[in-house]
């Protein structure tokens, strides 16, 4: 074989990649699996966020879990799981797919990897698109998880996410499916930017200052750092989203006028620290979820390269 042919084969091999469609599928699969594992913590976090919205006292994560199991047994910890799966199927698949497509388009156009500023912009856009598409499922998720804490007469008693969505359309109108879309998109932008940008920086710092090489340990350290930063930055917006999606009409008017109104009312009535209510279960959800998503995603990518392309996979995350 000639030297020129060998060079061409090498370049062709190095250019081998996973089809964009499979990147959507792998990303969505990883997010769904992680969501199923961490759903109980998501339920605890959500119920703690709305615990004081009606004037009730704050409750601890343990109390929330006990109450959920007392009412419905172990199954009580998985209320709204179908909505969570649907949300990840739409939100995470869309977000990862859009981000991947934009990244590949940039590389093809400029023949180089995106700069940090460009990466942040692409992550923000991808998060916004994914969140807007996933808002209906997110609305159903919040309502299903918080239904059990309402008085029996006020409970919606949705039987599934599809029952929830159909009833919302029938009882409140189609546009009600996007109630809370603005804070949902805002949270997604914060989460996407924080995860992508900070994960990369934590990886670089771990390599430079701790002398860590590529592998599970590096991935674990970077994921923990990214998860903690993401949880701290996004929780106030997440609380606002939850309150808006769970609010009721008072004298014919919505309880909140928007995300800023929620944040101001919470700060004034419950104290500024209430914006981080449920921080512990939120961190216990975000950090392990981040780790699980990346681990599962890496394993799917590795398997594809090994069994389909016959090559060794090198992470580009």
Which tens digit of pLDDT belongs to each residue from 174-210?
Answer: 998 998 888 888 888 988 888 777 777 788 888 888 8
CATH of residue 141's domain is: 1.50.40.10
What is the extent of the structural domain holding 202? 19-309
User: Does any domain span residue 8?
Assistant: no
* Domain assignment present for 316: no
Would you say residue 51 lies in a domain?
yes
Residue 249 pairs in a beta bridge with: 254
CA distance 199 to 316: 12
Q: What is the pLDDT of residue 316?
A: 58
Token duo for residue 145:
């998880």
Among 278, 235, 236, residue whose Cα is nearest residue 58 = 278
- Do 176 and 169 form a contact (C-beta atoms < 8 A)? yes
For the chain, the average pLDDT equals 82
Task: Note whether residue 85 is domain-resident.
Answer: yes
Residue 275 in contact with residue 267, Cβ under 8 Å? Answer: yes
Which residues 6+ apart lie within 8 Å of 259 measured at CB?
A: 182, 183, 186, 237, 240, 241, 244
pLDDT of 307 strictly over 60: yes
pLDDT tens for each residue of 93-150: 888 788 878 887 888 888 887 888 888 899 899 999 999 998 998 888 888 887 877 7
Q: What is residue 267's predicted lDDT score, i.e. its pLDDT?
A: 92
In angstroms, the CA 191 to CA 238 distance is 10
Weakest-pLDDT range from 44-58, 151-165, 266-280: 44-58
At 317 the pLDDT is 58
Q: Does residue 188 form part of some domain?
A: yes
**Using N-to-C axis directions, what is the helix angle for 216-246 and 181-209, rounded to 10°?**
160
| Residues counted in the chain | 317
- Domains held by the chain: number: 1
């Amino acid at each position: 074989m000639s030297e020129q042919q060998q060079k061409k084969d090498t370049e062709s091999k190095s250019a081998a990649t996973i089809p964009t469609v499979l990147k959507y599928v792998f990303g969505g699969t990883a997010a769904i699996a992680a969501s199923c594992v961490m759903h109980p913590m998501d339920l605890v976090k959500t119920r703690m966020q709305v615990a004081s919205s009606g004037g009730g006292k704050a409750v601890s994560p343990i109390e929330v879990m006990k109450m959920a199991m007392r009412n419905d047994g172990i199954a009580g910890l998985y209320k709204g799981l179908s909505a969570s799966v649907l949300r990840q199927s739409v939100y995470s698949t869309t977000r990862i797919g859009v981000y991947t497509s934009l990244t590949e388009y940039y590389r093809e156009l400029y023949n180089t990897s995106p700069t940090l500023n460009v990466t942040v912009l692409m992550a923000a856009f991808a998060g916004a698109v994914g969140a807007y598409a996933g808002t209906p499922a997110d609305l159903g998720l919040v309502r299903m998880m918080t239904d059990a804490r309402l008085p029996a007469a006020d409970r919606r008693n949705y039987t599934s996410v599809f029952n929830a969505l159909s009833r919302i359309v029938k009882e409140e109108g189609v546009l009600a499916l996007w109630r809370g879309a603005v804070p949902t998109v805002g949270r997604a932008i914060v989460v996407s930017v924080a995860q992508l940008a900070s994960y990369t920086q934590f990886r670089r710092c771990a390599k430079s200052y701790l002398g860590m090489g590529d592998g599970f340990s590096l991935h674990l350290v970077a994921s923990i750092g990214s998860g903690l930063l993401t949880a701290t930055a996004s929780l106030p917006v997440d609380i606002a989203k939850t309150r808006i999606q769970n609010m009721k009409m008072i004298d014919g008017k919505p309880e909140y006028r928007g995300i800023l109104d929620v944040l101001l009312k919470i700060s004034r009535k419950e104290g500024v620290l209430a914006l981080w209510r449920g921080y512990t279960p939120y961190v216990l959800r975000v950090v392990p979820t981040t780790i699980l998503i990346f681990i599962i995603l890496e394993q799917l990518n590795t398997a594809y390269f090994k069994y389909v392309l016959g090559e060794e996979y090198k992470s580009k995350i």
